Amino acid sequence: GEDVEQSLFLSVREGDSSVINCTYTDSSSTYLYWYKQEPGAGLQLLTYIFSNMDMKQDQRLTVLLNKKDKHLSLRIADTQTGDSAIYFCAGDTDKLIFGTGTRLQVFP
Amino acid sequence: KAGVTQTPRYLIKTRGQQVTLSCSPISGHRSVSWYQQTPGQGLQFLFEYFSETQRNKGNFPGRFSGRQFSNSRSEMNVSTLELGDSALYLCASKPELADNEQFFGPGTRLTVL
Best residue of A96, A97, A100, A102 to probe chain B, by most B CBs closer than 10 Å: A96
B35/A96 CB distance under 8 A: yes
At residue B90 the predicted structure's pLDDT band, cuts being 50, 70 and 90, is very high
Interface check for B53 against chain A (CB to CB < 8 A): the answer is no
E strands, chain A, in order? 4-6, 9-13, 18-24, 31-37, 43-50, 55-58, 61-66, 71-76, 85-92, 96-98, 102-107
- Give alpha helix (H) positions in B30-89: none
Cα-Cα-Cα-Cα torsion B44, B47, B49, B55, nearest 10 degrees, comes to 120
pLDDT value of position A25: 87
Give the mean pLDDT of chain B: 95
A86/A77 Cα distance (integer angstroms): 17
Out of A44, A95, A98, whose CB is closest to B42? Answer: A98
pLDDT value of position B20: 98
At residue B103 the predicted structure's pLDDT band, cuts being 50, 70 and 90, is very high
- In chain A, the residue whose alpha carbon lies closest to the alpha carbon of B39 is A100
pLDDT value of position B40: 87
β-bridge mates for residue A73, sequence order: A21, A64
pLDDT value of position A1: 62
Q: Is the pLDDT of residue B97 over 90?
A: no
Q: What is the mean pLDDT of residues B86-94?
A: 97
- In chain B, the residue whose alpha carbon lies closest to the alpha carbon of A34 is B101
* Pair A65, A55: CB distance under 8 Å: yes
Residues in chain A, total: 108
pLDDT value of position A92: 87
- Identify the DSSP state of B102: -
| pLDDT tens, residue by residue, B30-78 | 999 999 999 988 999 999 999 999 999 999 999 999 999 999 999 999 9
Spell out, as residue ranges, where chain A has pLDDT lower than 70: 1
